[in-house]
Amino acid sequence: MDLPAKLHQDQLARIKNTVRKTYDSFKHNYDRYNEYKRFVYESSLRPEDITLLTTLSKPQLEFNILEAYASRLVGEFSKQQPDISISADDQYSADPQLISLVEAHLRHEMTDSKNHHTKIEVYKDLLSGGFSVAKIVTEYANPMSFDQVIKFERVYDPTLCGFDQLARYSHKGDGRFCFELFPMSKEEFEDKFEDIDLTGVSFSRSFSGFNWSYLNDTTPTLLVCDYYEKKKKKVQIVKLSNGKVLRMKEYKKLQEIWEDITQIPGIIGKPRLTELETICRYRIIDNLVIEYEETDFTMFPLVFFDGNSVLVKTPKNGNVRQITRPYFYHAKGAQKLKNYAGISWANEIENIVQHKVIISKEALPKEDVWLQAYKDVQKPSNYVYNA
């Protein structure tokens, strides 16, 4: 554990409380994400539906009409070129060729061969889950390189990410914080963080609510959280005669080291106060802040991809909630109707021979071999009764 992390241990309780509250407030969307993912790609029959069909002696059949449509949309999307447009903040001073180069570079980085089909996976999340999350990462070009490259990829699990509830932009970049949780086995964690002591971490089988550590089958697992937070600081800035803008401290330092024969650029107008944001990253576990750094990001590295959400006000308390809706949100009823109609049709075929016989009780034969014809009406047989 590095020194900056030790200096921020007092922030652990506040961060954990923020993560838990944010996760709980968005839990209804996480549950809907998992529900529709299973409904479209795994099974459109719930366990209670299977129990009811078993009780009614009806076939447990499914007639999925959603996944094929989703696959067609994904196939069409895979042939589309990313819609990227780069423009200059100052069109008079910008080089047009540089703008074209940056645009072409971004298109190259967003191709499937560079990011493990990230855009396809995000699109599938929007169709079946209602939202997705991607992140910007920096890493070395290869194991023997000192050059870092910027990449973007889908997070491990969008339902393990959270954003400020007060954020209103679709990408959530205007919020105060965001976080990503990723599970890690105890053995893997100890290999990666050799100097971290996990003696105080309890691994239990309780899955009620939100747990920082738990037993996955028999594997001790803990959640590691990357928590990003904006810290604002007021500074005084000045504009120089050459058009550049510097902090007042930077300008005074420049005056001290200025050795050019030309005169140092003067200040135009009056200095003013501004508010600068620094995005800080805390990496925490259940009982410890294990890393802290002030990043170079100007925006959060986690980007929320909104499908077709709406803001709904709760009648009881007036709180506004974001409801994320998958593409197939209103197709669930149609899928259930299709299943019901198909199961009923299959059940009708299965029981197509149904004799309707009325016979008095005392006329029923006593021998089981003759009585079986009354019990199994679908098997061809002769009715024998006592006259």
Residues in Cβ contact with 31 at an 8 Å cutoff, skipping those fewer than 6 apart = none
Q: Do the Cβ atoms of 150 and 321 come closer than 8 Å? A: no
Residues in Cβ contact with 85 at an 8 Å cutoff, skipping those fewer than 6 apart = 103
Neighbour tally for 350: CB within 10 Å: 12
Alpha-carbon distances of 51 from 48, 58, 60, 277, rounded to whole Å: 5, 10, 9, 56
- Check the CA dihedral 326-182-82-112 and report its sign: negative
Expressed in angstroms, the distance from the first to the final Cα of the chain is 94
Amino acid at 67: E
Q: What angle do CA 42, 45, 46 make, to 5 degrees?
A: 100
pLDDT (tens place) for every residue of the chain, 387 residues total: 566 677 888 899 999 999 999 999 999 999 999 999 999 999 999 989 999 998 888 889 999 999 999 999 988 888 776 677 888 877 777 888 888 888 888 877 777 656 678 888 999 999 999 999 999 888 888 888 898 888 888 998 999 999 999 898 999 999 999 999 989 888 898 888 888 888 777 777 665 567 888 887 788 888 999 999 999 999 999 999 888 899 999 888 988 888 777 788 888 989 899 998 999 999 998 888 899 999 988 899 999 999 889 988 888 777 888 999 999 999 999 999 999 999 999 988 877 765 677 888 888 888 888 888 888 777 778 888 888
Cα-flanking dihedrals φ and ψ of residue 199, to 5°?
-60, -40
What does DSSP say about strands 148-154 and 310-313: parallel, antiparallel, or unpaired? unpaired
Q: Give Cα 116 distance to the centre of its chain.
A: 17
Cα-flanking dihedrals φ and ψ of residue 354, to 5°?
-135, 100
Cα-flanking dihedrals φ and ψ of residue 33, to 5°?
-60, -50
C-alpha 44/C-alpha 60 separation (Å) is: 11
Residues in Cβ contact with 167 at an 8 Å cutoff, skipping those fewer than 6 apart = 173, 174, 175, 176
DSSP string, 268-316: EEEEEEEEEEEEEEEEEETTEEEEEEE---SS-SEEEEE-S-EEEE-TT
Whole-number pLDDT of residue 160: 93
What is the Cα Rg of the chain in Å? 32
Let me know if 189 is exposed, middle or buried by CB neighbors in 10 A (0-12, 13-18, 19+).
buried
Q: What angle do CA 245, 247, 253 make, to 5 degrees?
A: 110
Which DSSP symbol is given to 92? T
Q: Is 54 left (phi over 0), alpha (psi -120 to 50) or beta?
A: alpha
Task: Quick: pLDDT tens for 158-187.
Answer: 999 999 998 989 999 999 999 999 898 888
DSSP string, 311-324: EEE-TTT--EEEE-
Task: Quick: pLDDT tens for 249-286.
Answer: 988 898 888 877 778 888 898 989 999 899 999 999 88
DSSP string, 108-138: HHTSHHHHTSHHHHHHHHHHHTSEEEEEEEE
